[in-house]
Amino acid sequence: MPTEKNKYDKYDVVIVGAGISGLVCGCYLAKANVRVLIVEHHDKPGGYCTSFSRKGYTFDAAVHYLGSCRENEGIIYSILKDHSLLDKINLLRNDPCEKIIMPNETIYIRKDNENTREELKQKFPEEKGNIDRFFNFILSGELLSVIAKTRYISFEKLLNEFFIDPKLKIILSVPIGNLGIAPSKASALASVFLYREYILDGGYYPEGGIQSFPDLLACRFREYGGELLLSHDVSGIIVENRKVMGVKLREGDVIRSNIVVSNADAVNTFEKMTSCGCEESEKIRKLEMSPSAFIVYLGLNTDLEKVMERHFSTWLFSTYDVERCYDTENNYNLGKIDGRGKVFDLDYIICHFPSLIDKKLAPENRSIVRAMLWVKDENGATKYNYEEKIYKKIITKLEKIIPDIEKFIEVKEIAVPRTLNRYTLNSNGSALGLASTVAQVDKNYFPSQTSISGLYLTGHWVTNGIGQSGIPLVAYCGRNLAATLIRNVSN
């Protein structure tokens, strides 16, 4: 215990990690007059949903926009409404949202899903009826029937049940890259909810940058009376007789609480923060993690509206083999870079252009580009000098979208898996927690309630029965856990 006056009173709940799920959970708890403390490793809230500045440019670290904000139905809309925040955030939209460039096809994803399906029908007229069936199924109000059909199959198999044209199936597989896994492995259930809550109801950009969203939640959390401790690490979760008693900070302070929620990496939670040999510590290493990412952030001294139409993202593929592109185990695997630093060829990149939507993110007549690809990291891979070589390959790909881009680069930052690990503490820089494979979406596979009394999980390391489909689903997870905890605290 600290020798000075106690810094921390006893709390009803301590949340480890101020990612979106932790913040949402904290807001609902604090609103219900539960005494809550959130402890965050980073110096800002948000987890991967954060932004940073360089020389007047505001870059979004990982998330490129929000989904599920449709009025009265969207998950994020409901959360903002519950906390009277709808008038505190300005969500910008654009049509089109996404642009998919294949070797012989260009397809747009529109903010109105009716327009998206009509565009697909024009490109694939022989599949008109199947396109309608597919969209109607995804957007069906009969969620139980959707879950029943998709729960035990891959997205690839689901597409095979609806379509004949192989190119159409490939194009519809491209956005599944948001899950970071190949369509043959991706859960059809997780993929359907990704389409439903992030692709067909996406393209909502918080004015001022992605950081605006977690900052808003953090502000409301504090207004409710919650406490947020930034730039602090939880070194241990105190467990006695299989019951949570609180947490210990790296600085030595002990914070007492009978309920701890980990919004942190599950491997760290059970292998480093707890030491009681619980069943989760044996199970977590057997689960498949999502890949990490190689990300390039560029500040350009030119206005991109001169060379392209306004949209959020471009998916640029030089092959129709999307399966190969998203196979980080065999293809985009940093562990397979040899001692001479030989790197893989790039068949695709995912590009984001936030300053096309919000010009205030960059200085006048300047622009922002973020380009990324999914990679797998393994211990020891980063000893090779691969960063600049992969960066140059990304620039070569970007030339196809922005001619002579290299001469416009004013600011350059590169994030590799160890960078993502440094800011989030996610193992191997995992970008999406547990991979949303067919086997790993069942809500009982790795649930919020653990075998340790009083210890709960939230965020993208939890299987919630749907899979992890970005910000809407981790927010949903945090809201649901808060409802459970409010009942427990009240009793």
For residue 217, the model assigns a pLDDT of: 98
Q: Are residues 79 and 223 in the same domain?
A: yes
Residue-wise pLDDT tens digits, 157-170:
999 999 999 999 99
Q: Which residues of 428-447 are buried (b: 16+ CB within 10 A; e: fewer)?
A: bbbbbbbbbbbebbbeeebe
Which of the listed residues 194, 220, 251 is the one where a domain comes to its end?
Answer: 194
**Quick check: helix, strand or coil at residue 180?**
coil
**Quick check: helix, strand or coil at residue 73?**
coil
For residue 282, the model assigns a pLDDT of: 83
Taking a C-beta distance cutoff of 8 angstroms, is the pair 377, 418 a contact? yes
For residue 285, the model assigns a pLDDT of: 81
Q: Are residues 27 and 75 in the same domain?
A: yes
Residue 173 covered by a domain: yes
Taking a C-beta distance cutoff of 8 angstroms, is the pair 23, 261 a contact? no
Q: Are residues 188 and 233 in the same domain?
A: no
Phi, psi of 181, rounded to the nearest 5 degrees:
-140, 160
Percent of the residues in the chain that have a pLDDT greater than 70, as a whole number: 95
Residue 100 covered by a domain: no
Indicate if the pLDDT at residue 341 is higher than 80.
no
Element (H, E) at 479: helix 471-490
For residue 275, the model assigns a pLDDT of: 76
Residue-wise pLDDT tens digits, 442-469:
877 888 999 999 999 999 998 876 766 6
Which of the listed residues 366, 386, 415 is the one where a domain comes to its end?
Answer: 415
Q: What share of the chain is helix, strand, coil (3-state, %, to 5)?
A: 40, 20, 40
Residue 319 covered by a domain: yes
* Region of poorest pLDDT, from 70-84, 183-197, 230-244, 468-482: 468-482
Indicate if the pLDDT at residue 8 is higher than 90.
no
How many domains, in total, are found in the chain?
3
Indicate if the pLDDT at residue 7 is higher than 80.
no
Q: Which domain does 121 fall in, by range? A: 115-194
Distance separating alpha carbons of residues 55 and 411, to the nearest angstrom: 8
For residue 286, the model assigns a pLDDT of: 85
For residue 247, the model assigns a pLDDT of: 96
Torsional class of 183: left (φ above 0), alpha (ψ -120 to 50), beta (otherwise) = alpha
Q: Are residues 336 and 384 in the same domain?
A: yes
pLDDT band at 380 (very low <50, low <70, confident <90, very high): very low
Query: Taking residues 293-318, what's their average pLDDT?
Result: 96
Query: Taking residues 332-359, what's their average pLDDT?
Result: 90
Taking a C-beta distance cutoff of 8 angstroms, is the pair 98, 311 a contact? yes
Torsional class of 46: left (φ above 0), alpha (ψ -120 to 50), beta (otherwise) = left
Indicate if the pLDDT at residue 74 is higher than 70.
yes
Residue 420 covered by a domain: no
pTM of the model: 0.95
Q: Are residues 325 and 455 in the same domain?
A: no
Residue-wise pLDDT tens digits, 239-290:
999 999 999 999 899 999 999 999 999 999 998 899 777 888 888 888 899 9
Taking a C-beta distance cutoff of 8 angstroms, is the pair 461, 454 a contact? no
Q: For residue 172, what is the domain's CATH number?
A: 1.10.405
Residue-wise pLDDT tens digits, 200-235:
999 999 999 999 999 999 999 999 999 999 999 999
pLDDT band at 138 (very low <50, low <70, confident <90, very high): very high
User: Strands 455-457 and 260-262: what pairing?
Assistant: parallel
- Close Cβ partners of 268 (under 8 Å, ≥ 6 residues apart): 425, 427
**Secondary structure letter of residue 124 according to DSSP:** -
First-to-last C-alpha distance (Å) of the chain: 29
Q: Are residues 39 and 125 in the same domain?
A: no
